[in-house]
Amino acid sequence: MSTTRATTKDRSAARTLLRLWPYVRPARARLVTAAFVAVLASCTGLVIPLVLKWMVDGPVADGDTAGVWLGALYLLLLGFAEALLFGLRRWLVARPLSHVEAEMRAGLYRHLQRLPVAFHDRWASGQLLSRATTDLMLLRMFLAFPLTFLLVNSVTITVGVIIMLLQDWTLGLVILGPAIPVVITCMVFEKRYHHVARLAQDQVGDLTTVVEESVLGIRIIKGFGRHRSQARAFRELSGKLRGTELRKAGLLATIWGVITTLPEVAIGAALVLGCVQVADGDLSAGTLVAFLSTALALRWPVESIGFLLAMTQEAATATERYFEVINESPEQEDAPRRGAGNGATSPHRPAADDGMLFSAVSFRYPDAPASSPPILDRIDLHIRPGESMALVGTTGSGKTTLTALVPRLHEVTSGHITLDGEDITAMSREELRSKVAVAFEEPTLFSASVKDNVLLGMDEQELDRALAVAQADFVHALPHGTDTQVGEQGLSLSGGQRQRLALARAVVGKPRFLVLDDPLSALDVHTEAAVEAALRDVLADTTALIVAHRPSTVLLADRVALLSDGRITAVGTHHELLRTNAEYAHLMSGTGEAEDNR
């Protein structure tokens, strides 16, 4: 199971986060307005110390009670204005950022549907799930809070320092004393926190994968009494994640301690020095009150630097993880090959080239070593229009891989496949997959109704016919008939029932070409015979390639192709091959292997 964990490298968080701009651009007006409102609210708070200075040096010093009440009214209005502005900022960003998150999640989902099967073979589902949930939540939180307040706090600190320097420059220099060590601490923290944040988010993906697999495989876990070992594996991963989160907490505690302690020491020193100046008559009490009030107002902007930087780093790693998937190349529509798609004659093509034709087809998995032999090696096979061809071979001979090439779940390494004379790479995938229907040996059902699982958007009028062909009339006895929800992965049904629904899904649209990968392996003898009888009528009107392991399935086909070590070694009728091919006779005798994968 691959976690697709990227190697952490030194990089600019700002440069990484700039990749979000295309998604944020539609909301830029409201975000800029929200930032301006937040700056205005923060600067409104800095006016309060100036009002305090006026009150202390004016009405309080003069014993003017009315002036004190007036000053209190000013403070109340300023506080109300500050709260109102911050509330307005929250209202401005809530809706557009929810839209940004939704659009990014939808874009990720669309992209996942377009990625090749080889990508999904490499990536753990939990890693993809964590990117679509946890990582996008972190990005929304960053856009809603740190992105704005890194700017707001920078402006607030700058304006506050200017106000303090104008009040008394000597005290202002005392306050600025911790600036250099705080900046150095932040730089070191940012670099270290990035690595830990990335590790934590990858571990969340690993943990999500374990939970998902445990839920989907609960019957196996219970059936084999493996709940303790699964719980142990979960605890180990959970413990690793806990350790990583504690490392994050330790880094946060360190930077928070530094950026809290040093400014507090500076404020204490300024207080002592200011009191001495007031006692000497060099500074007014109102000025000292205003200075200290401004310094205290800057405590939050300074102290928040730590967790704002932490959230920024987490958002940067979430962005990296998001674009690791988005950057994967989707299935591309190939340019038509010369002589394909227009009925032109190929040097490998017989005169009558209709039907399904494999011409010198070879295949090697993209991640396989270059020195490894191909899974399929120069396959030449012609299934004539309306003909059914059974594909027989031992485990690992490449039968399932060959069937996956027809709907382009994998791309051929060399050679070409044509349907009615047209190269499949010259068709759009939508067109190709409207012509070719597939039923896999392992049927996959979705958390939806029986009807939706079979039709997958096809005309509902075809439902009854397809269910009849697949001998799936059992659905009418379910609590809500074809509207019954089958549950996740269809585990509420038996293996044979799931396989029959998968077969009904394949035949529902009366496809021109049919690819069946041992579609009857989970059926009992009587049901298999009934399905075979119904399938013969379907196969009479289609061109079919059927992976078969049992003689009863082979007898559905007009001819048989024997696949051995990635090559077609014999083609003929079932009875011909029984007489002339020892390997085929061995397979059909029941002593050969009965199932393949890749």
**3-state DSSP call for residue 123?**
strand
Q: How confident is the model over 110-124, as a mean pLDDT?
A: 86
pLDDT for the residue 179: 82
490 has pLDDT over 70: no
Of the pLDDT bands very low, low, confident and very high (cuts 50, 70, 90), residue 523 is: confident
**φ and ψ at residue 381, rounded to 5 degrees:** -155, 135
User: Which amino acid type is present at position 198?
Assistant: R
pLDDT for the residue 1: 43
Task: Confirm if 274 and 171 have CB atoms less than 8 A apart.
Answer: yes
337 has pLDDT over 50: no
pLDDT for the residue 352: 52
Cα separation, 515 vs 359, in Å, equals 18
Q: Exposure pattern of 163-198 as b/e (b: 16+ CB <10 Å)?
A: bbbebbeebbebbeebeeebeebbeebbeebbebbb
* Residue 59 CA from chain centroid, whole number: 63
H or E, element range at 569: strand 567-572
Cα separation, 425 vs 334, in Å, equals 6
Edge-to-edge order in the sheet of strand 567-572: 436-439, 513-517, 543-547, 388-393, 559-564, 567-572
Q: Exposure pattern of 58-86 as b/e (b: 16+ CB <10 Å)?
A: ebbeeeeeebbebbeebeeebeeebeebb
Tokens of 119: 């990508």
Q: Which of 146-150, 250-254, 318-322 has the highest mean pLDDT?
A: 318-322
Contacts 24+ apart (CB under 8 A), 351-355: 352/384, 353/382, 353/418, 353/421, 354/384, 354/385, 354/420, 354/421, 355/382, 355/383, 355/384, 355/385, 355/386, 355/387, 355/419, 355/420, 355/543
* Residue 41 CA from chain centroid, whole number: 38
368-426 pLDDT, tens per residue?
777 788 899 999 999 999 899 999 988 888 888 899 899 988 889 899 999 998 999 88
**C-alpha separations of 476 from 450, 463, 466, 484, 535 in Å:** 10, 12, 13, 9, 20
- pTM for the whole structure: 0.74
592 has pLDDT over 60: no
262-309 pLDDT, tens per residue?
888 888 888 888 888 888 888 888 888 888 888 888 888 888 888 788
142 has pLDDT over 70: yes
Q: Which residues pair with 358 in a beta bridge?
A: 381, 417
Please report the domains of the chain, with CATH numbers, ordered by start residue. Answer: 17-326 (1.20.1560.10), 356-588 (3.40.50.300)
Cα separation, 405 vs 394, in Å, equals 19
Q: How confident is the model over 24-28, as a mean pLDDT?
A: 89
pLDDT for the residue 221: 75
Contacts of 484 (CB under 8 A, 6+ apart): 449, 450, 475, 478
